[in-house]
Amino acid sequence: MAAIDVTSVQSAGLPKRARKTDASCGSMVHKLFPTHNSARAIACGIARYQKTERVIKVAQLPASVQQYIDEKASLCQPDEVHICDGSADENMRFMKSLQKDGMIKALPKYDNCWLARTDPKDVARVESKTVISSEKRSDTIPTPKDGVEGKLGYWMSPADLQNAIKERFTGCMQGRTMYVIPFSMGPLGGPISKYGIELTDSKYVAASMRIMTRVTPRVLDYIDGGEDFVKCLHSVGAPLPLTRELVNNWPCDPENVLVSHIPANNEIMSYGSGYGGNSLLGKKCFALRIGSTIAKREGWLAEHMLILGITNPEGKKKYIAAAFPSACGKTNLAMMQPSLPGWKIECVGDDIAWMKFDGEGRLRAINPENGFFGVAPGTSMKTNPNAMKTCMTNTVFTNVAETSDGGVYWEGMDEPIPDGVDITSWKNEKWTPGSEELAAHANSRFCAPAGQCPAMDADWESPDGVPIDAIIFGGRRPQGVPLVYEAFDWRHGVFIGASMRSEATAAAEFGGKKIMHDPFAMRPFFGYNFGHYLEHWLSIDKPGRHIPKVFHVNWFRKGADGKFIWPGFGENIRVLEWIFGRMDGAENAVKSPIGLLPSEGAINLDGLNENVDMKELFELPKGFWQQETEEIKKYFDEQVTTDLPTDVAQELNSLKERVDSM
């Protein structure tokens, strides 16, 4: 059993300090679910690492949770209800049963790793089928210009949503079990943490939620003690007996996918997809869409950001949060192995940051998640050794390719395929190197416990979070956008976030390499009107607060040969070194029309193996920036219209003037 006990591996692998997660220790009465072992150490957080399965009955749950289950069970009509306890035994039972159903395969080359192949119609988030419902449309999205389609989210009226829900969810769990998953986003009991209950008919989701969030019945104690919870309902939309043929044994209803949110009720209802952000509802649905609405109400920030700790060779440490759109390098930066000697990067989180000012006016951030749902292609021992080490145990892979010796494979893994080893693609077809087809889907992922990552920060589970000194925005910009620049001040920084653009990636349904607007890397994740979100960001800058510096980076500029100019990955430390210096008061920047650029020689190139054309990397072509400014203006005029804060409009005008006089 030891080999398959995810939880004991997790806790054993963590430094002692990082294991103490339950901030409530000593203050909360564990009424409903006393831990078997009354030892204080166990009550203080290791309880979620319990091994043995317990039978929990609905009647034992807090009344509000019972009521929620009753309501949804009568709608979805499952055959059974199972309350998850998050134990290792329960998880293994789920994995074995998934294996029996043919939904996952064991990967004997590694320790407790599994492979799922989805229906090829269910491979990514579906933004066009993701809606927010509120009484007033303008609470959810800015009113676009007449005749223009709004692209800052999709609104649905409460009445339309009710109909859509009824149509989809009535009887959708017939013949299946409804799993009740009590989970915590953030360390249990922490002041920034929040709780959720996900009801799902997918064991794959239940198993993945256990990796991505903190699943434990202790959450029910907090709810019983008066804490609120976010209601998360999920169904793959394939009641039994099936009316549609299964593909890869992956139940889903791709034609009728609907990922819906009701911020007023803290409620999420997702139908038809079993994949990633559509089904692991703690992630984008809760931590970002619902989270951003709660954050706005309560005066904090819920953002699509990694959090990293950076220590310089003198031992001085700072924390940075960074927002890049999906599949633009957050996971890689968060656990990067720096190429410069003496520097250390430690990971707090790779995708989502919840940030709140403390009593001293410091912005403090937690990673509400407990695992990584990372992009597989491009991950290698060279580019991201820490991710490779993280996902070789207790990991669920989805849509990667499989080797005949029981391992995984994907584009950019950069490992030779041994003689006699065959590869089966994500589509379950024989695959040979050089084939036109992809071995792994471009959005194939590993789902692995964060605690296993060798680069985790000692404070990654600190309930109070880590202090943030800088915020970085970035995207995939093949042209015109320099490697790094700094905002003049907070207001300019908010403008830079608002005007972010990036090349489309495989993380959602968009094809091609189109440059899309993706303000704050949040376009698919805003829970409320982007104009109001901007007001909220502007309001952050209050006297008495330590306001982070803001930067913009671009690892993805391409030269005339179509290749990336900057080597990226571990070499990105050279950029972080400059940013670190700027946070520390170094005077090594020069003014440019778009922001502050590193002064000549300020980016350390010592020991860089390749010749990088720094001039090309930092060039600011006037024509490009005039066009860029026009694009941003058009976007604001058409999409944000009257909701655009004056401060942001003024920043745009100033940029335009500076660019025109270049």
Number of residues that bind ligand GTP (CB under 6 A): 22
Question: Closer to ligand GTP at the Cβ: 343 or 490?
Answer: 343
Site string for Mn ion, 314-353 (x = CB under 5 A): ------------x------------------------x--
Residues 456-515 that bind ligand GTP (CB under 6 A): 507
Q: Is 374 left (phi over 0), alpha (psi -120 to 50) or beta?
A: beta
Q: Residue 212: name its binding partner from ligand SPV, ligand GTP, Mn ion, none (Cβ under 5 to 8 Å by kind).
A: none
Nearest-CB residue to Mn ion?
351
| Residue 53 vs residues 82, 198, 217, 251: alpha-carbon distances, Å | 12, 19, 11, 26
* DSSP structure string for 552-613: EE-S--B-TTSSBSS--GGGGHHHHHHHHHHHTT---EEEETTEEEEPTT-S--TT-SS---
Element (H, E) at 76: helix 63-76
Give yes or no for a contact between 646 and 636, defined as CB atoms under 8 angstroms apart.
no
Q: For residue 328, indicate whether it is catalytic.
A: yes
Binding-site member from 291, 371, 377, 531 for ligand GTP (CB under 6 A) = 377
- Neighbour tally for 354: CB within 10 Å: 30
Write down the least CB distance from residue 325 to Mn ion, Å. 8
5-13, 43-51, 275-283, 596-604 -> range binding ligand SPV (CB under 6 A)? 275-283
Which among 76, 172, 232, 328 is annotated as catalytic? 328
Binding-site member from 373, 446, 551, 580 for ligand SPV (CB under 6 A) = 373
* DSSP structure string for 371-405: EEEEE-TT--TTT-HHHHHHTTBS-EEES-EEETT
Number of residues that bind Mn ion (CB under 5 A): 2
Residues 288-347 that bind ligand GTP (CB under 6 A): 324, 326-332
Write down the least CB distance from residue 277 to ligand GTP, Å. 9
Q: Residue 474: name its binding partner from ligand SPV, Mn ion, ligand GTP, none (Cβ under 5 to 8 Å by kind).
A: none
Q: Is 617 left (phi over 0), alpha (psi -120 to 50) or beta?
A: alpha
HSE value, Cβ hemisphere, 13 Å, CA-based, for 77: 12
Torsions phi, psi for 372 (to 5 deg):
-115, 135
Question: Closer to ligand GTP at the Cβ: 209 or 219?
Answer: 209
Write down the least CB distance from residue 375 to Mn ion, Å. 9
Query: Is residue 224 close enough to count as binding ligand GTP by CB under 6 A?
Result: no
236-244, 260-268, 394-402, 563-571 -> range binding ligand GTP (CB under 6 A)? 563-571
DSSP collapsed to 3 states, 80-134: EEEECCCCHHHHHHHHHHHHHCCCEEECCCCECCEEECCCCCCCCCCHHHEEEEC
Candidates 356, 625, 355, 655; CA nearest to 487 is 655
Binding-site member from 5, 85, 346, 351 for ligand SPV (CB under 6 A) = 351
Q: How far apart are CA 251 and CA 249, in angstroms?
A: 6
Tokens 């003037």 label which residue? 657
Binding-site member from 488, 510, 564, 624 for ligand GTP (CB under 6 A) = 564
Q: How far apart are CA 472 and CA 307, in angstroms?
A: 10
Binding-site member from 326, 386, 399, 629 for ligand SPV (CB under 6 A) = 326
Binding-site member from 168, 176, 203, 283 for ligand SPV (CB under 6 A) = 283
9-17, 59-67, 373-381, 582-590 -> range binding ligand GTP (CB under 6 A)? 373-381
Angle subtended by helix axes 530-538 and 291-298, to nearest 10: 40
Question: Closer to ligand GTP at the Cβ: 94 or 460?
Answer: 460
- Residues near ligand GTP (CB under 6 A) are 324, 326-332, 350-351, 374-375, 377-379, 383, 507, 555, 564, 568-569, 572
- Residues near ligand SPV (CB under 6 A) are 125, 276-277, 283-284, 326, 351, 373, 507
Q: Catalogue the active-site residues.
A: 328
- Residues near Mn ion (CB under 5 A) are 326, 351
